[in-house]
Structure 1
């Protein structure tokens, strides 16, 4: 069994800036999302103690920080593997998606545009590394892994697990408020408890207090 998580929201996610393998910090909402994933995983893992659980994550900071929050909640160490990193989008890293769409409108007809960046990785290259990582893991039912990765890398990892076509793999959702369970050849989405960004929640509370007063 694998519980697959995407990192929480980052500053660049919020700005609609392409991250690739660049670094960007989690927002307060991203940390709250990581906490919600940790709470859900804590509930799931304590029901299944037949085999020891491990956490493995991409070494990029947004995944490291998300995995650290999960690991602290579960009392588990975090290991890292470069093969779980997000794809690099080469010359497009750090660019705003709106700018790219304006410069290259024909690219955005489907999700294969992720692999069109000058100097970026191809679909086959990313699939080879995430698929290679998957084949090295313990076989089911002994496999007990919590994985923290990224949007595209996570899509392709699920695609490798379920034998999806490239189009099917790329059409999958990449939520930051849910995890995916990969078990018995099936992929199931498990939603976390809804969270708000702490500062927004505080502001809403202050407004409610003013209304009461």
Structure 2
């Protein structure tokens, strides 16, 4: 049986809103981030024929765990059943963790001309280091054939790239949505957009 994986990024965080880099450090979800997680959870609930067949795997970083708990509650899965897996955590961004992106752009005017500019941070984790841990996760026979994976922007891009064999440039040309998620199945990737505004009206 081939695996089916729903892959999502954590919701917007305080650092995301402030245009600060996070990496292995953490900040909490904003109100919008919580609404994004709720919307994805509701969408997933409608797509799972039998929730008991699915296992939620999360990066152990706080923003991913917070998102995973919201998603689990919306689906009707006990949050205590979430499996935290360090292979899913974000790139370490070395000396640039907690840095403000606008300040980095002033210091390095041509920084964002490269799509992988994040990895130029001194002491950043390498692309191949993250690729190796994602490959290890995907080949791990102990991981459920039906998985909901909560990860991060850059690591999620590598995850999708590994799954379908993208080139390095293709990996870093992907968008990193917080209002959409992806189904990885049968060697294909499908994007599923969520209506955050609808979810917001339901929470008023």
Structure 2 length-normalised TM: 0.90
CA RMSD of aligned residues (A): 2.2
Q: 1:86 aligns with which of 86, 90, 100?
A: 90
Structure 1 runs (4+) greater than 3 angstroms displaced: none
Choose from 173, 179, 182 the match for 1:180.
182
Q: Normalization by structure 1: what TM-score?
A: 0.86
Name 2:164's counterpart in structure 1.
Answer: 162
1:1-213 matched pairs, under 5 angstroms: 1-46=4-49, 49=50, 52-76=53-77, 77-137=81-141, 143-195=145-197
Larger CA deviation: 100-109 vs 50-59: 50-59
Question: Structure 1 stretch 54-63 or stretch 187-196: which is displaced more?
Answer: 187-196
Deviation at 1:50, TM superposition (A): 9.7
- Which of the two has higher C-alpha Rg? 1
Give structure 1 stretches of 5+ with no counterpart: 203-213
Q: 1:99 to 1:196 in 2, by over 3 A?
A: farther
Give distance in 2, aligned partners of 1:72 and 1:197. Answer: 14
Residues 157 and 174 in structure 2, CA contact (< 8 A), matched pair in contact too:
yes
**1:173 aligns to what SS in structure 2?**
coil
1:33-78 per-residue CA deviation (whole Å, 9 max, x = no partner) reads: 10000000000013xx398110000011110000001111223221
Inter-partner Cα distance in structure 2 for 1:10 and 1:196: 20
